[in-house]
Amino acid sequence: MTEQSNKLRQLHKLSALVLLVFITMHLGNHLSGWFGIDAYNQVQKAFRVVYRFPPIEILLLCLLGVQIVLGATLLFKSLRRGRPRGFWSWAQVLSGGVFLFFIVQHLWAFYVARAAYQLETDFFWASSVMGGAPFIWYFIPYYFLAVFSVLTHVGTGVRYWVIDAGHEKVANQVGIGFMLAGALIGAAIILVLTGALYDIPLKPEMLEYLRDFYPEYTPPTN
Ligand code: HEM
């Protein structure tokens, strides 16, 4: 591995550590939906004090932009070196690729919802695409894979750390632990957003927003 790739990898790990603070808050916010819509929106309001504080929001979005570019560069360099070898290399490359695919769309959708539609990006926005077909066919795997891929990708990084620290025996268990956590948290968030736990009203402004993408959309009646 070249000196340059090593530097990129170090930078990638460093910004991942900072971003993990936001990701933990963000996934925690979605899980708080198990206690109801008000609980979700109250938790979001509390967390926004931190990540919507303009200097922090700018830092967060810039750091995520840098992480996307670093990740794409490392992905490209790794594939140019040849096919990944073994389970963990495939897990790292595939989870990185899937997360890249998700986060670019997610940030764009977030920007369009706020800037073009002036929508409140709270629980009702996140759940608006989880109410019925055809949106659910895309957004259930999209949101599930978002959580599964980010925790799998972090898990493969932590696994290398555990190996470097000389604990090879537990390294695979640590990696598998992150993947299982990703699958469980992903499934738990999907149950919240699809209304499996309680009925979720679709606000008129969200229906209008969805019909801009699919004019024939008719939300299922309860
Ligand atoms: C199930 C998965 C996810 C759902 C349902 C979801 C939903 C949301 C919602 C509702 C917002 C608006 C927040 C607000 O207005 O305060 C948001 C913003 C955002 N999400 Fe996610 N998200 C998911 C996964 C992720 C992941 C894995 C990341 C990883 C970095 C991420 C990064 C962001 C960022 C950076 C913002 C912008 C925050 C801001 O500037 O206010 N999201 N997402």
Does residue 154 surpass a pLDDT of 70? yes
Q: Which of the two residues, 1 and 212, has the higher pLDDT score?
A: 212
The pLDDT assigned to 220 comes to 84
Are the CB atoms for 193 and 130 separated by under 8 Å? yes
Q: What is the pTM of this model?
A: 0.93
Residues with CB under 6 A from ligand 1: 19, 23, 26, 30, 44, 48, 51-52, 57, 60, 64, 103, 106, 110, 121, 125-126, 143, 146-147, 150, 189
For residue 222, name the pLDDT band (cuts at 50, 70, 90): low
Average pLDDT, the chain: 94
Are the CB atoms for 147 and 188 separated by under 8 Å? no
For residue 221, name the pLDDT band (cuts at 50, 70, 90): confident
* Residue tagged 């794409």 (tokens): 72
Q: Which of the two residues, 215 and 77, has the higher pLDDT score?
A: 215
Fold assignment, 3-213:
3 helical TM bundles of succinate and fumarate reductases (1.20.1300)
Q: Which residue pairs from 36-43 have beta carbons closer than 8 angstroms and sit at least 24 positions apart in sequence?
A: 36/198, 37/123, 37/124, 37/198, 37/200, 40/122, 40/123, 40/192, 41/122, 41/123
Going from the Cα of 80 to the center of ligand 1, the distance in angstroms, rounded, reads 31
In this structure, the residue with its CA closest to atom 6 of ligand 1 is 126
For residue 83, name the pLDDT band (cuts at 50, 70, 90): confident
As a whole-number percent, the residues of the chain with pLDDT over 70 amount to: 99
* Rg of the Cα atoms in the chain: 19
Pocket probe for ligand 1: among 18, 110, 135, the residue whose CB has the most ligand atoms within 8 Å is 110
∠ CA 24-25-31 to the nearest 5 degrees? 90
Q: How far apart, in whole angstroms, are the C-alpha atoms of residue 38 and residue 33?
A: 8
